[in-house]
Structure 1
């Protein structure tokens, strides 16, 4: 995976033990006996490491957050109910996770960040709902007080009304609740990002949540994604066109050949990682077929012709609709081959819930612009 640009190995909720150490920060539980050694090992592979936290007294999974109701950073519920991993478990099962989701009186953000810096953390997923300016800025200011390049990722359902603030303070932010491996949920998230486009660009990325391909789920109860192969092509193509963070949500130890081919297609990844950083926008929609176009740094254009319907459909892209002139080569990015040349348009059949993901090149060349053609 590293040979195709994947960089971060992120630990989500579940690593936390009690507060302690020289910083009175959240330390690890028995599942992660030596976070510094783990970080060093990951760095030695040429990769980076991410960690998880949130500004409530407890996290979604019932572990310690970066706030406490007590000045000494202790928690009554730990002594009463915590299991061997210091995860709050309500024995009556009357509450979902056992902790009331609230911001405590005392902040331990500085303490926790100091500890992460000692460990060598490169990425933070900061998770609660609703995201708010005060707690976002607090973590931003502490992270940026250190001379370390840490990706600051907000989760979840960031309010659109504060988009200018997220753009200034976060490297990426979840615009939605959790994704599920269903066509309906994937579509509602992926095709609902257009309003965020003005705030999406290098250094600050809109995040419609992780990729649900391969073996997905929690713990031992994994299942193969319920998305069909065509739906998975749509999923990957749309996330690439949106310039969204690509976060693998499957069990990497059980990658099958098809999933691996999705995640290691360099031409798809190049569209997603294009330095221009422009998200794709809807340029046309006819019936169930919606067309997204994303300008690329070299002047070419990536295009996704999506069929959201349940039957075969014809998709059409005219050069005029995307402001391109002259003869263009059409490259199928999933097949990784040139499939057509034209001076006017591209027409294709699209499978139900499927996509034709193409690149049109060379685009509007400098020679064309100066020759009067």
Structure 2
């Protein structure tokens, strides 16, 4: 936790530092890390043998007035009423702002009497009576991270730890602010010893943001340690943290966990598809699952994500292995986690902004040779058999979460059928496009009486131009159906839902229905001649901090908070302001030839910022700048995009993290 006005700057510094030291490729084996991690002792106190699960108020309430005794006790009530306790959540954790700014005359911490009129012990007693546990927060410094300056524990470790124990605290989050330059290992070890001296079992969460590589030294100091700066409720933040945490798998295990920060599920900055990915990926990484949304306002969709017991079982598997990367080409991630029963949890994660087929095999994820395997879909809660292929068409920013096992009972399940849709789902209103639907039998047994359909919104024309049925599909065989799809004339631009559905039967007569949601986008062709890209509609636009801006720089927060685009002292009236990592895509419909721009780091960041610019035509990179810094003037970039349906403007972090990476596409133009 950090104060909202300071957390961004500090977090970016942490990301930049972490990126410089985490040079391990996410998809490469970490042999040396395995050896170091294997030698690291863990705390032998029997605590946190699986990743802690619970709630922390910070992401949803910060220091608002409604963070109080009634709210905390209400969360405990909701744990029980909403089935979260039954799903495994135990810890109800207080973050900053629970104390008064000053200690009492005896140097003791004083709970805020307005927020907690009955004191922390009374809250702990209430939580314990529900069969739950209470957590609390302080900092390994003289003050906590809030600008109001609540007392930290530096120099008061033993007395504070004893107060926590006397109150009945079960979990301590120990932050990193105002640490006076005291060595991190010394600060955190002192609190470890203080907690141990109380005789009370207290889970110890080290929150020093990954600045001092705690994964290398903290296994016998704390039960979990933050590996990154603070998460925020955005796709780019979640993705950046994921990529920093994945290479650290060798350091995690029972009683000592990598902590990529709290869950943002339900806070509103991402879609439900993205939140399912967030929850799946944290689970396959054996990360602590600490709910960060206000459960008093949580939707049923949010509760369904947080309460998915099959995904939680992956996170809580007692073997304690963190998932590792099997492959990650072109944003198609396969992450596999070894489970205690010999099965593998497999996350097929699509980082990209369009649907992609992601495939692997049982052998590649570490399973032994077998005639067939049982494949369990943990979000659909269905089981199938597969001959060994593990594959799915995964929607943009989506994750298919599976559990795959070798066993004698695979034939009791129907064959897995993989659905796919080939062709570009970009349509100009009134103009038909051809899409090809595919149904492939991945199972060891045949799929019988196969029937496929494609449906669209009211008013759309969706007609098959080839066979939609097959008497049977044997292992590896595919039914291909051509569809003519037309959006009605005058249809508004934007995204629309199509549904590809297959129905079939297993050899024993089980009826199976599988559905693949597909997003189609109605687009308009770009105008003839040369246009500023900032005047054209984009298909999608993502950025590292804050939205992409038209004709201003990136302001990092809300839309419209940028400034005039300025590179090397030169102002530009037109352009696109972004923050790495960024990806902006435009429909060009095969009718354009050239993209030009003046690119660089905006002057507003002083001497900071390191980025690289790329232009992509469909799936091919057609121009790049190499690494640019704030000290450099604007660089011209030109790309031949002849014949491309989609052009993408991409900004990367230059390889050193995303600190102050304000990237401008000044005077960006498209010639058609």
TM-score by length of 1: 0.81
For 1:47-196, what aligned pairs fall within 5 Å after superposition? 47-61=132-146, 62-67=148-153, 107-129=155-177, 132-159=184-211, 161-196=213-248
Question: C-alpha displacement at 1:320, in angstroms?
Answer: 2.0
The structure with the largest helix share of the pair is 1
Question: C-alpha displacement at 1:253, in angstroms?
Answer: 0.5
Alpha-carbon RMSD across the aligned residues, in angstroms, is 1.8
1:20 aligns with 2:104: yes
Q: Deviations over 1:175-213 (max 9, x none)?
A: 111111111110000132123212100001111011111
SS at match of 2:287: coil
Distance, in Å, in 2 between the alignment partners of 1:198 and 1:300 is: 19
SS at match of 1:20: coil
Matching residue within 120, 123, 143 for 1:38:
123
Distance, in Å, in 2 between the alignment partners of 1:42 and 1:145 is: 24
Question: C-alpha displacement at 1:342, in angstroms?
Answer: 1.7
Name the residue aligned to 2:396: 352
Name the residue aligned to 1:231: 274
Would you say how many aligned residue pairs link Structure 1 and Structure 2? Answer: 316
Matching residue within 372, 381, 404 for 1:336:
381
SS at match of 2:123: helix
Q: Deviations over 1:335-371 (max 9, x none)?
A: 1111x31222122100001111000024699xxxxxx
1:4 aligns with 2:4: no
Whose radius of gyration is greater, 1 or 2?
2
Tell me if structure 1 keeps the 8 A contact 2:344–2:366. Answer: no
Name the residue aligned to 1:315: 358
Question: C-alpha displacement at 1:301, in angstroms?
Answer: 0.7
- Structure 2 unmatched runs, 5+: 1-83, 410-672
Question: C-alpha displacement at 1:108, in angstroms?
Answer: 1.2
Tell me if structure 2 keeps the 8 A contact 1:281–1:293. Answer: yes
- Structure 1 unmatched runs, 5+: 68-102, 217-224, 366-373
Q: Deviations over 1:71-123 (max 9, x none)?
A: xxxxxxxxxxxxxxxxxxxxxxxxxxxxxxxx6xxx11111111111101000
Name the residue aligned to 1:247: 290
Of the structure 1 ranges 34-43 and 239-248, higher mean CA displacement relative to structure 2 is found in: 34-43
Tell me if structure 2 keeps the 8 A contact 1:300–1:363. Answer: no
Tell me if structure 2 keeps the 8 A contact 1:233–1:354. Answer: yes
Q: Deviations over 1:129-168 (max 9, x none)?
A: 5881110000001101122110100113123544232112
Tell me if structure 2 keeps the 8 A contact 1:301–1:363. Answer: no
Question: C-alpha displacement at 1:260, in angstroms?
Answer: 0.3
TM-score by length of 2: 0.46
Tell me if structure 2 keeps the 8 A contact 1:13–1:63. Answer: no
Q: Deviations over 1:26-49 (max 9, x none)?
A: 110121122111111110110000
Tell me if structure 1 keeps the 8 A contact 2:214–2:225. Answer: no
Tell me if structure 2 keeps the 8 A contact 1:182–1:227. Answer: yes
The change in CA–CA distance for 1:162 and 1:182 in structure 2 (over 3 A counts) is closer
The change in CA–CA distance for 1:183 and 1:227 in structure 2 (over 3 A counts) is same
Distance, in Å, in 1 between the alignment partners of 2:283 and 2:104 is: 42
Matching residue within 266, 269, 272 for 2:312:
269
Matching residue within 229, 248, 257 for 1:205:
257
Tell me if structure 2 keeps the 8 A contact 1:317–1:345. Answer: yes
The structure with the largest strand share of the pair is 2
Tell me if structure 2 keeps the 8 A contact 1:66–1:109. Answer: no
Question: C-alpha displacement at 1:25, in angstroms?
Answer: 1.6
Question: C-alpha displacement at 1:12, in angstroms?
Answer: 0.3
